[in-house]
């Protein structure tokens, strides 16, 4: 596919500098771009490449000075990263228009199940009974959709994903390979003899609209009611969300995070990788949790930033670390004082 600089500038509402007929045929990182590549600079760390890189079209901000004859055309926009994301979305749509539609065989669709137009169902996929599937849904090979599941329009389910019975998936979602939605929550009642009795998990999982769930992430069904992931949430790979958790709109969570049962996370929270969150607590809107933090109590203050284990406000955490660094010197001083006392007990 080919695009010209003037077409891209018109799409983005940007200011064009250079050759309006410059053609690009692909997308590349700025340090790897060539004369037929579209690239962008959003992070100041990469601004140096603007003076040396070769690119067909370069998206940049409105103030960065550039004098580089190797760049065919530049498009200045207010936010290069957002503009680049817009182009990637368009590119993805153009690619998806060429993807297969229809139902491959062998596959299975159970009694009472319905689907909208332009369904793609890959080979060896299984659709249970009384499933409702919207328009333009793509379900890739080897996926399992249990009985009475509902899937909204324009949702993409990659190969090998599993959605258990009764769960609800919204519109425009992306569910990557290996995801399991609706497996049993970890509920066991201890008995007097030291054994454990399984607590039936009778609830479901409800996924909102425009949610993306990374590969091999697991979201457990509720014991009663629903585990809820609201609109716009973005989940990385290898995350575990336990039963009856609720995650607010537009929250983002990085890989290897584990969230214990019945915890409620607010809107637009940002949670780093390998964070552990205990159950039955609340995390306010806009809270930022640094990677590898351990959250052991509720965070009630909106937009608060925490780090460490147990998690504490950034300033308090790093103040504590500064004191820890002083311990060897303090111990040395104590040893010296003890030696002086032992020599002269009258000091």
* Residues that are catalytic: 243
- Angle among Cα 292, 297, 303 to the nearest 5 degrees reads 75
Peptide bond into 106 cis (omega under 30): yes
3-class DSSP assignment, residue 325: helix
Residue 204 to residues 126, 170, 185, 223, Cα–Cα distance (Å)? 19, 14, 10, 8
3-class DSSP assignment, residue 258: strand
Peptide bond into 310 cis (omega under 30): yes
3-class DSSP assignment, residue 86: helix
Q: Which residues of 165-187 are buried (b: 16+ CB within 10 A; e: fewer)?
A: bbbbbbbbbbbbbbbbbbeebeb
d(Cα 77, Cα 64) in Å, to the nearest integer? 11
Burial class (CB in 10 A: 0-12, 13-18, 19+), 121: buried
237 within 8 A of 217, measured Cβ to Cβ: yes
Instruction: Tokens for 137, please give them.
Output: 């849904």
Residue with tokens 């060539």: 34
d(Cα 196, Cα 263) in Å, to the nearest integer? 23
- Angle among Cα 148, 153, 159 to the nearest 5 degrees reads 70
Residue with tokens 């539609």: 101
Give the Cβ contact number of residue 74 at 10 Å. Answer: 23
Q: What's phi and psi for 342, nearest 5 deg?
A: -65, -35
């Amino acid at each position: 596919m080919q695009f010209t600089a003037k077409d891209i500038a018109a799409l983005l509402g940007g200011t064009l500098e250079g050759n309006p007929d410059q053609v690009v045929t692909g997308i590349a990182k700025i340090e790897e771009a060539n004369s037929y590549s579209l690239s962008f600079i959003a992070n100041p760390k990469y601004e140096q490449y603007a003076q040396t890189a070769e690119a067909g079209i370069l998206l940049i901000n409105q103030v960065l000075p550039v004098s580089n004859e190797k760049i065919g055309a530049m498009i200045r926009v207010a936010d290069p990263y957002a503009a680049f994301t817009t182009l990637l979305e368009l590119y993805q749509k153009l690619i998806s228009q060429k993807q297969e539609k229809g139902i491959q065989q062998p596959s299975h669709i159970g009694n009472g199940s319905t689907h909208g137009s332009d369904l793609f169902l890959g080979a060896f996929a299984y659709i249970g009974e009384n499933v409702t599937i919207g328009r333009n849904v793509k379900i890739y090979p080897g996926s399992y959709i249990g009985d009475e599941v509902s899937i909204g329009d324009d949702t993409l389910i990659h190969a090998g994903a599993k959605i258990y019975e009764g769960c609800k998936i919204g519109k425009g979602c992306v569910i990557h390979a290996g995801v399991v939605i609706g497996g049993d929550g970890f509920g066991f009642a201890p008995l007097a003899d030291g054994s454990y009795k399984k607590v039936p998990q009778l609830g479901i999982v409800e996924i909102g609209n425009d949610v993306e769930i990374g590969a091999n992430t697991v979201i457990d069904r509720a014991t009663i009611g629903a585990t809820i992931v609201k609109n716009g949430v973005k989940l990385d790979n290898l995350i575990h969300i336990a039963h009856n958790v609720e995650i607010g709109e537009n929250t983002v969570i990085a890989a290897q995070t584990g969230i214990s049962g019945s915890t409620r996370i607010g809107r637009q929270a940002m949670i780093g990788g390998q964070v552990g969150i205990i159950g039955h607590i609340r995390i306010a809107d806009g809270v930022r949790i640094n990677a590898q933090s351990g959250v052991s109590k509720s965070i009630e203050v909106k937009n608060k930033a925490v780090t460490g284990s147990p998690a504490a406000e950034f300033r308090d955490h790093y103040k504590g670390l500064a004191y820890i660094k002083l311990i060897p010197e303090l111990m040395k001083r104590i040893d010296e004082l003890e030696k002086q006392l032992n020599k002269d007990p009258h000091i």
